[in-house]
Every structure is written in C-alpha cells, then in structure tokens.
Chains A and B, each alone.
Chain A
Amino acid sequence: MAKKRERLEVIKDIIMAIRENRNIKPTRLLYASNLSPQMFKEYINELITKQFINLDIDDKEKKTFSLAQKGNAFLEEYRTIEDFIENFGL
C-alpha cells in the first residue's frame, strides 16, 4: 500500500503543479493534486488564506490558480523545512 502523504508534501505537490502550469484550472489542479474534492477544497482554501497561491477570475468568470511570491519561497525552502520538521520530530 502506498504511504500516506504528509500534509507538507501535499502542499508541495499542489504548489509544484501550479508552478509547472503557470495558470492552472481548478479541475486540472484537482487531478494533479491526487486528492479527494473535499480535501482539495480544504487545502486550496488554506493556501489562498496563507497567500501561497492566488485565485484569478477573468472576465468570463473562468477561474485559474497562479503562484504567489510566498508559494515560490515555500518551494525554494521546502527541503530545509522538511528536514527541520523531520529531524526535530515536530
């Protein structure tokens, strides 16, 4: 059985998917994140609240996600954060 992803890893995967696709549609991001719709919604709301990602809505009411500066910084420091958390058992 595949190991359950840690919360931090899920966040990394979502942000990575957004970075690779620049402006990604919600449905596509849901598939890329490999989460249930309910869990996906929770993570996305958290990431928007924490200003890791932006929700952009165009004139035709089409929604896309883009990477915010804080999300980019998170990705750059991901290994450091992960190492710190794991080695201190936090």
Chain B
Amino acid sequence: MYVPLEFYQFIAQNKSIFRVLYSVIIAFICLIIVLKTDKLFRISSHQGIRYFRNAFFFYGIAFLLRALLISPIYSSLTKMAFEFFMIMAGFFLFYSLLWKRLETKKDTSSLLNPKIIMLYALTLILIVLDYLWGGYNFMFISQIILFLLASVISYNNYQTKGKEHKFLKLYFGVMVLNFVAWLANFIFANFLGGRLRWLANIYILNVIIFLIFLYGVNKFTKKKKVIDKEDK
C-alpha cells in the first residue's frame, strides 16, 4: 500500500498528538469490547468469555496509561503500571484460548485463581527485568512468544472447526498480526529507533488489529433468534 511521504511528515510534526490520539482510540475500542463481552459473560458465566473480557479491560487500561507516558505527569511508576497491564492483557487473551485444558474446578475467580496469580508473578518478574535492563525488551519477547503460541492454538482451532465457524480463520489471522506487531515493536525499539515511518506503520497495524477484534465482537454479540422446541 502506497502512503505518501507528506503523511509521515504530517505525523512527525504532530507526533505527541498522534500518540495520544492513537492510545485513546484503542482504549475506546477496548471499552466497547469490554461492555459487550461483559453482558455476554453475565448471562452465560462462561470462563472463556470472562478471560477474553479481562484481556480487553487490561488492554484498555494499558493504552490509557500509555497516553500518560508522554505527558508531564510521566513517572517510572506509570511506565511499570503500563507494562503490567499490557503484559497481563496478553496473558489473559492467551489464557482465554487455553483455560478449558487447564481448569478443572468450576467457579474459580478470573482475577485471583492460582494459575492467574502465577501469571501476575511472571509479569512482575518481567517488569523488574525491564526496569533493571532499561527499555521494554522482556515485555516484547514475552509477547512475541505468547502470540506465536496463540497463533498455533488458533490455527488448530481453525483446522478443526473452521468450516462451521468462519471467524476462526480471521481470529487466527489476527493472532498472527499480533505476533508481527510485537516483533515489529521489538525491531523498532532495538534497531530502528527514530524511524517514524516504521512507528507509524506499527500504530496503523495495531489499530487494524483492535478493529478486527471489535468487528468480531460486534458481529457475534448481536442477538440471534430465540431457541424454540423445534430446535431440540
């Protein structure tokens, strides 16, 4: 896709505004996803929907904190909080695909069950490592691995049930895009710092990813026909 150079120059001149706008747009998309999936969870009490909802709740907070990172009230605590919510959001999204194979007891809390507490601990370790080394490399690497695994699981889901449920193909695609976005983030942060064209493309890619999630949530939370006796 051809993007005129003037577009990147325009972004360069208004970098801070675009960064805040980008974060707020994604946080808003997350808010819509959380509200729609929360309604579905309250009716079904389904753990998978619950973890999926948690993921976007955490993404929403992470992107709001991200908007603060370039403001005058920035502090290392804001950076750590941003990293915590961002990593945990990825873990929740990944766990929403895995919970069926791991959880045995019903009714476990989605925020404080033993497996999630282990993920909190892992997240805190990654944050401390990033703090000691400087930058976000441990977060990037964890998310690259996470979305690589999520792509494999999604591909398996698509292979087994893709004919009946068409969105599984797009969901696999969005997991691959997530993997690509985190990989691009890692490359940009370590080797291409300052190249605005790369950064702008990563932003565009991220907005596309969240819009695909929103599209799916919108499509599948629309009320269907009520089941009758004939459906039995």
In this complex, what residue of B is CB-closest to A89?
Answer: B157
Which of B132-140, B198-206, B219-227 lines the interface with chain A? Answer: B219-227
> Interface residues, chain A, CB within 8 Å of chain B?
8, 12-13, 16, 20, 46, 49-50, 70, 73-81, 83-90
Task: Among B99, B168, B221, B232, point to the contact of A84 (Cβ < 8 A).
Answer: B221
Task: Among B44, B51, B154, B161, point to the contact of A86 (Cβ < 8 A).
Answer: B161
Residues of chain B within 8 A of A20, CB atoms compared: 229
> With A and B bound together, what is the CA distance between A83 and B164 in angstroms?
10
Residues of chain B within 8 A of A74, CB atoms compared: 43-44
In this complex, what residue of A is CB-closest to B223?
Answer: A80
Residues of chain A within 8 A of B44, CB atoms compared: 8, 74, 77, 81
In this complex, what residue of A is CB-closest to B37?
Answer: A84
Using A87-B165, A88-B167, A88-B171 as known contacts, say yes or no to A79 and B220 having CB atoms under 8 A apart.
no
> With A and B bound together, what is the CA distance between A87 and B96 in angstroms?
13
Residues of chain A within 8 A of B232, CB atoms compared: 13, 16
Quote the shortest CB–CB distance from A21 to chain B (angstroms).
Answer: 12
Quick check: B46 and A88 within 8 Å, CB to CB?
no
Q: How many A-B residue pairs have CB under 8 A?
A: 85
The 3 residue pairs across chains A and B that have the minimum distance between CB atoms: A90-B48, A79-B224, A89-B157
Residues of chain A within 8 A of B216, CB atoms compared: 87-88
Q: Is B126 an interface residue when CB atoms closer than 8 A count as contact?
A: no
In this complex, what residue of B is CB-closest to A15?
Answer: B227
> Interface residues, chain B, CB within 8 Å of chain A?
37, 40, 43-46, 48-49, 51-52, 96-97, 99, 106-107, 153-154, 157, 161, 164-168, 171, 216-217, 220-227, 229, 232
In this complex, what residue of A is CB-closest to B41?
Answer: A81
Residues of chain A within 8 A of B99, CB atoms compared: 90
Apart from A78-B227, A87-B165, A90-B48: 14 A-B pairs, beta carbons within 8 A: A49-B107, A70-B43, A73-B43, A77-B223, A80-B222, A81-B40, A84-B40, A84-B220, A85-B46, A85-B48, A87-B166, A87-B220, A88-B48, A88-B167
Residues of chain A within 8 A of B96, CB atoms compared: 88, 90
Quick check: B45 and A87 within 8 Å, CB to CB?
no
Quick check: B52 and A90 within 8 Å, CB to CB?
yes
> With A and B bound together, what is the CA distance between A17 and B226 in angstroms?
15
Residues of chain B within 8 A of A73, CB atoms compared: 43
Quote the shortest CB–CB distance from B232 to chain A (angstroms).
Answer: 7
Residues of chain A within 8 A of B43, CB atoms compared: 70, 73-74, 77, 81
Residues of chain B within 8 A of A88, CB atoms compared: 48, 52, 96, 167, 171, 216, 220
